[in-house]
Amino acid sequence: MAHQVADPSWMARIEEMARRAEQVAAEMNRPEVAGDGVRMVRLAQEHGQLEKILKPYREYRTVTDQLNESLDIIHGGEADAELRELAEMERGELEARRAKLLALLQEKLVTGDEAAVSSLILEIRAGTGGDEAALFAGELLEMYKGYAARHGFKVEVLTLSASELGGVREAILNITGEEVYLNLRFEAGGHRVQRVPETESQGRIHTSAATVAVLPEPQEVEIDINWDKDVVEHVSRAGGPGGQNVNKVSSAIKLEHLETGITVSMRDEKSQHKNRAKARRILMSRVYEHFKSQQERALAAERRDMVGSGDRSQRIRTYNFPQNRVTDHRVGLDVFDIPGVLSGERLDEFHAALRERDLRLRLERLSRG
């Protein structure tokens, strides 16, 4: 009908997720899958991630149906005046709820990968500024510990290198918790502090720096090879010493993984079945190592981009002690409460603005692509 509200075009992607969730649930109910612990865990994790967006999606569907019913009553011309008045009163509330749910679904759609990360590695390193930079890096360490405690995240200090004056040259943390990466990813980059160091006798303001890297913790690479579609198998006779045939049956196996080009040949056994089984095990391990190395190289490159050179000019945020001001240069936001920020209590104010900016940029790219 002309007065019905329509779904945005990107809703089709969420509907695909709903169909995938049904497929996963059906697969989990199959007896042969239920007996496979590893597969069940993987499917349960996938289903859990899908549910995070499908729960508000189902609420959105209910609210949209209710809104359309109200619009039918308002514009249909068949209802009495009292019913139309009641529908008009409900309309405003339903439109507000629908708009809120649409914004939530948009955010979950474009940040789904980050939301799924529940473990990260956070690295803090003192940059330009000597002992003062190390003291500042130590304050950043306490800031992230405080932030994690307020959000119920678990912090494990993997390595800590202290300076002579009680600061931190380097600290590497593992922080875990639901959606932990979604906000802390914005902490990556150069942090700059402006203040009078305790060792400064002339009262001059010094500028020092520290760098922070925030990386999703590498997960175990899942290798799922379809031996019929992903691999080409070549069969030949196994040759013995001096060119003699070990047997008359084609028992030697060569496997080629199409995506990576990795090949494995096996001719040790007289049985084609045994050679194939051995070749598959070796191929699986080599393909695993290939993708694991790719993942590690990508993380190393990402870390280099985050850390930069560590000098004072590369910064995402400045902590100005004389003015009691913390400025995030990406969104131009000032918070006049350095103790509150360094305790971790007021970091969420920066994160909220950064998430809004990030979502806007992602949606712009989504609409263009």
Distance CA 168, CA 303 (A): 19
Q: Do the domains 118-220+306-368 and 231-296 sit in the same CATH topology, yes or no?
A: no
Q: pLDDT tens digits for 96-149?
A: 999 999 988 887 887 777 777 888 889 999 998 888 999 999 999 999 999 999
Query: Residue 79 pLDDT > 80, yes or no?
Result: no
- How sure is the predictor about 237, in pLDDT bands with cuts at 50, 70 and 90? low
* Beta-sheet pairing, 317-320 with 263-266: unpaired
pTM above threshold 0.85: no
Q: How high does pLDDT run on average in the chain?
A: 84
Closest by alpha carbon to 10, among 359, 354, 352?
359
Domain ranges of the chain: 11-110, 118-220+306-368, 231-296
Counting beta carbons within 10 angstroms of the beta carbon of residue 103, is it exposed (0 to 12), middle (13 to 18) or buried (19 or more)?
exposed
For the domain made up of 231-296, give the CATH fold: Double Stranded RNA Binding Domain (3.30.160)
Sign of CA dihedral 131, 132, 133, 139: positive
Could you tell me where the DSSP H helices lie in the chain?
11-28, 31-34, 37-76, 81-110, 112-115, 130-151, 180-184, 272-307, 338-342, 347-368
CATH architecture for the domain at 118-220+306-368: 2-Layer Sandwich (3.30)
pLDDT at 244 over 50: no
Among residues 229, 260, 257, 221, the alpha carbon closest in space to that of 42 is found at: 221
Q: In a 3-state reduction of DSSP, which class is residue 226?
A: coil
Alpha-carbon distance 154 to 219, whole Å?
Answer: 18
pLDDT tens string 161-170: 998 888 999 9
pLDDT of residue 224: 77
Q: What is the dihedral of CA 29, 31, 36, 39, to 10 degrees?
A: -30
pLDDT digits (tens, 9 = 90+) for 18-40: 999 899 888 888 888 778 777 88
